Amino acid sequence: MSKLAIIDQGAGVFVVDGNLTFASIDKKTVKSFDFLNTSKVITIDLGRVACTDSAGLALMIEWIKHTRSHKTQLRFKNIPEQLRNLAKLSGFDQSSHFTTAD
């Protein structure tokens, strides 16, 4: 299991490092959305995500819901192919978060 870390790069940019899986996403990760409140525009770079499953997609959806309710613009960058495929299976790939260029 690769431990999940959300690394602040400054200016509303965060890098997710590790796995986005059931094994790596814990209650602390799910409850700690404070980083999403640091700027009116948040970019989450997923380029360092090694492995993902449906829990990763569910977490992304929760981030989207949180930022919408707080009127924050959220962008994803370098979305792994595994997540794109999961999003496609659920029809979520039609969301603007998946259709924008990395």
How is the chain split into domains, by residue range? Answer: 5-27+39-96
Residue 91 has pLDDT above 60, yes or no: yes
Nearest to 52 by CA among 80, 77, 21, 76: 21
Alpha helices (runs of H) in 7-95, residue ranges in sequence order: 27-31, 54-69, 81-90
User: How confident is the prediction for the chain on average, in pLDDT?
Assistant: 88
* Residue labelled with tokens 């924050």: 72
For residue 44, what are the β-bridge partners? 14, 76
Position 15 pLDDT exceeds 50: yes
pLDDT at 102: 47
Residue reference for tokens 């890098």 = 15
Consecutive H or E run containing 77: strand 73-77
CATH of domain 5-27+39-96: 3.30.750.24
- For residue 101, pLDDT over 80 is answered with no
User: Quick check: 66 and 29 in contact, CB under 8 A?
Assistant: no
Return d(Cα 52, Cα 73) in angstroms, integer: 24
Per-residue confidence (pLDDT) for residue 83, from 0 to 100: 92
pLDDT in tens, 37-69: 999 999 999 999 999 999 999 999 999 999 999
Q: What is the pTM of this model?
A: 0.88
> Is residue 11 within 8 Å of 29, Cβ to Cβ?
no
Q: Between 40 and 32, name the one with better pLDDT.
A: 40
Q: Taking CA 21 as the corner, what is the angle to CA 101 and CA 12, rounded to the nearest 5 degrees? A: 45
